[in-house]
Amino acid sequence: MVLFISLVLTRAARARTGIDAAIFMILLGMMVAMLVGPAYLYLTTLAFGIGDVVIWEIAVFMSGGMMPILALTGFRFVLLGEPERKGALPLSGLLEHTKALRAGYILLLVLSEFLMGWTFNLASGLIGLSVGYSLADVGGQLQYSLTSYWFVFTMVGEMGLTLFALRKVLRPNLLKTLIIQTVVMFLTPTALNSTVWETYTVYLEAAVMTGLVVLALYYLRRKEPDRPMLSYLGLFIIANTLMMVGLLLWLADGDSLFLALSLVAQTVIYFDAVLTGSGLGETFHA
């Protein structure tokens, strides 16, 4: 699944027609829908079964995903076979709203990873609800899932694979900084199921954070500052500051809310820079 989502995002970043962009949006939406089904079944029955997951995935995949994709793909082949056709191509206006398109891609990506992490935590028995559960109980589960290795490690995998696939498209300075951000995400104490990792990565993350501040100062001192890069670094530093606060609270009393929010913020900032830097926008062009 990590490889599939990375491939979809890589292709989505290079979408040059509205039909292509719509297909990738449907694919990401389908991933979310395939996980919403099992989540709904679990909340209504408090029973997690692999058979239920398979049934929902097949049902949603066939009815909610394949038909629109087949229709759009067929329509594209028809248009390619008629080069004399004039006028705007179908869904061409979709690429005129690149900010909304990027936001849609990122929202669906985070939702799919979020639900996937929750599902894996349920399947492995790390979390579970009992009869008479409340919304606060569900919220606590979801918060735990966002900081568990099922979410963090898989997200790091998607970051790395997407970055590797787009390494020749991204500008060198942006590529190097995005690699650093991937490392920062990986240094989250909960990224691996290891007490040794939890103990020492806090210090490593603080050291990398200091290096990023120095890098931001370097870009500020340049005669011609790189505005998009500075904007990205500023957001990244804010997200990392939130992460450090979250880590301190997590170490002090086990509260992982700020840590969960910072991980989501880092993910959003990262993939926004990747999609924009790959050409799905007007800045960071290689």
State pLDDT tens for residues 251-284.
888 888 888 988 999 999 999 989 888 877 555 4
253 φ, ψ (degrees, to nearest 5): -135, 10
Task: Indicate the angle between helix axes 149-165 and 257-277, nearest 10 degrees.
Answer: 10
User: Model confidence at 285, in pLDDT bands (50, 70, 90)?
Assistant: very low
* pLDDT for res 81: 54
Q: Read off the pLDDT of residues 161-190 as tens digits, 9 standing for 90 and up.
A: 999 998 888 888 888 888 888 988 898 888
- Where along the chain do its domains lie? 2-277
Q: In the chain, pLDDT over 70 holds for what percent of residues?
A: 80
More confident residue, 220 or 100: 100
pTM over 0.85: no
Query: 42 or 192: which carries more pLDDT confidence?
Result: 192
Residues 22 and 91 sit within 8 Å (Cβ to Cβ): yes
| DSSP H or E stretch at residue 155 | helix 149-165
DSSP assignments along 73-136, one per residue = HHHHHHHHT-TT--SPPTTGGGGG-HHHHHHHHHHHHHHHHHHHHHHHHHHTTS----TT--HH
Q: What is the mean pLDDT of the chain?
A: 79
26/28 Cα distance (integer angstroms): 5
Rg for the chain, CA atoms, rounded: 21
